């Protein structure tokens, strides 16, 4: 067994990263202290947004129907710092800024937080990763809002005002991060996964960032392969098999994507498989903006 493989029992000794709709509903019904966060966002919706609008991406959909009691979180302003060529499109927020966000949500240190979206967890995973980075117990609703509705449960409309702010003091740096200056060396000595779609990895198209291709030495591992057709994560065994075919033995693992959002989804899938991985927050949006850095195209290291 390599350092990236784990037994079924080992995977389940970790803090569960997922919760299903039935368990969430049951725990809410019996009055457990759970904070539910709606993190609906997508790159396509962000690109289509009217620049003159101050309504966050996903908020209209939240207002039209959300899990009862859920609070809306704006990915672009609360789960990321301001975009810049030097740091990427969704840099990590500072500890001070994120502490203000969790305080505004009324979070207490011992709260259990459930996050969801309507995109198979692709944006909710960013909240899962950041909250874990700050020391909170967090799980993603497997299947998202679609699974909640499919289970026959009702939605609530309108907007829920935020509760009284808490005074919680967060931890920080609770998850591994790959720094920009270390990416090149890591790609040659570790397993650096590129979570973007295969055509972006190969350099056939680049809809957002200034250069097409991938970090030299990176391995193509599209995030879409982590879930099944219904938007639920694949089983622990299926994910272990997937990553076993991609990762080298006895080396560390890190993940990047376009801007550090869907890379968190890959890290979640790796966590389910029992594998620890670091996040490269700047991702391709940071790397491709520096013309002094090399890139590769093609599929010599793809699935």
pLDDT of residue 303: 39
Domains in the chain with CATH codes = 8-150 (3.40.250.10), 180-287 (3.40.250.10)
Q: Which residues does the chain have with pLDDT short of 70? A: 1-14, 300-303
Which is catalytic among the residues 247, 257, 267, 278? Answer: 257
pLDDT of residue 300: 59
Contact 260/279 with Cβ under 8 angstroms?
yes
- Distance between CA 23 and CA 300 in Å, rounded? 43
Contact 190/253 with Cβ under 8 angstroms?
yes
- Distance between CA 65 and CA 38 in Å, rounded? 10
The pLDDT tens digits for 133-185 are 999 999 999 999 999 999 999 999 999 999 999 999 999 999 999 999 999 99
43, two tokens: 């790159």
| H, E, C per residue of the chain | CCCCCCCHHHHHCCCCCEECHHHHHHHHHCCCCEEEEECCCCHHHHHHCCCCCCCCCCHHHHHHCECCCCEECCHHHHCCCCCECCCECCCCCCHHHHHHHHHHCCCCCCCEEEEECCCCCCCHHHHHHHHHHCCCEEEEECCHHHHHHHCCCCCECCCCCCCCCCCCCCCCCCCCECCHHHHHHHHHHCEEEECCCHHHHCCCCCCCCCCCCECCCCEECCHHHHECCCCCECCHHHHHHHHHCCCCCCCCEEEECCCCCHHHHHHHHHHHCCCCCEECCCHHHHHCCCCCCCCECCCCCCC
**Which residues is 193 bridged to in the sheet?**
219, 255
- Distance between CA 268 and CA 251 in Å, rounded? 19
Which residue, among 200, 205, 196, has the nearest Cα to 280 in the 3D structure?
Answer: 196
58 is an active site residue: no
pLDDT of residue 162: 96
pLDDT of residue 14: 62
Give the strand pairing for 253-256 and 191-194: parallel
pLDDT of residue 16: 85
The pLDDT tens digits for 22-37 are 999 999 999 999 999 9
Neighbours of 192 (CB within 10 A): 28
- Distance between CA 188 and CA 10 in Å, rounded? 29
**Which residues is 66 bridged to in the sheet?**
156
100, two tokens: 């203000």
Neighbours of 235 (CB within 10 A): 13
pLDDT of residue 60: 96
Q: In sequence order, which residues have a C-beta less than 8 Å from that of residue 48 and are 6 or more positions away?
A: none
Taking every pair of C-alpha atoms in the chain, what is the biggest distance, in angstroms?
57
Q: Which residues of 201-220 are buried (b: 16+ CB within 10 A; e: fewer)?
A: bbbeebeebeebbbbebbbb
Contact 101/52 with Cβ under 8 angstroms?
no
């Amino acid at each position: 067994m390599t350092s990236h493989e784990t037994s079924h029992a080992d995977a389940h000794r970790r803090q569960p990263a997922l919760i299903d709709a039935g368990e969430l509903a049951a725990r809410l019904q019996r009055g457990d202290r759970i904070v539910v966060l709606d993190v609906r966002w997508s790159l396509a919706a962000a690109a289509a947004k009217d620049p003159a609008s101050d309504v966050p991406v996903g908020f209209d959909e939240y207002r039209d129907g959300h899990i009862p009691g859920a609070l809306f979180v704006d990915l672009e302003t609360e789960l990321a710092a301001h975009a810049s060529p030097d740091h990427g499109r969704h840099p990590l927020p500072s500890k001070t800024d994120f502490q203000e966000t969790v305080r505004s949500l009324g979070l207490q240190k011992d709260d259990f937080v459930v996050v969801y979206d309507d995109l198979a967890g692709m944006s909710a995973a960013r909240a899962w990763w950041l909250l874990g980075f700050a020391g909170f117990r967090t799980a993603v609703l497997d299947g998202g809002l679609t699974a909640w509705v499919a289970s026959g449960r009702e939605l609530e409309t309108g907007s829920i005002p935020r509760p009284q702010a808490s005074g919680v003091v967060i931890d920080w740096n609770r998850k591994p991060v790959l720094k920009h200056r270390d990416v090149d060396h890591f790609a040659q000595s570790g397993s650096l996964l590129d979570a973007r779609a295969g055509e972006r990895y190969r350099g056939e198209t680049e809809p957002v960032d200034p250069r097409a291709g991938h970090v030299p030495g990176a391995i193509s591992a599209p995030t879409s392969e982590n879930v099944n057709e219904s938007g639920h994560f694949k089983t622990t065994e299926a994910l272990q098999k997937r990553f076993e075919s991609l990762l080298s033995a006895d080396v560390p693992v890190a993940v990047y994507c376009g801007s550090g959002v869907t890379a968190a989804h890959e890290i979640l899938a790796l966590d389910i498989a029992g594998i620890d991985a670091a996040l490269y927050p700047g991702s391709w949006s940071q790397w491709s903006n520096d013309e002094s850095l090399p890139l590769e195209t093609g599929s010599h290291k793809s699935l």
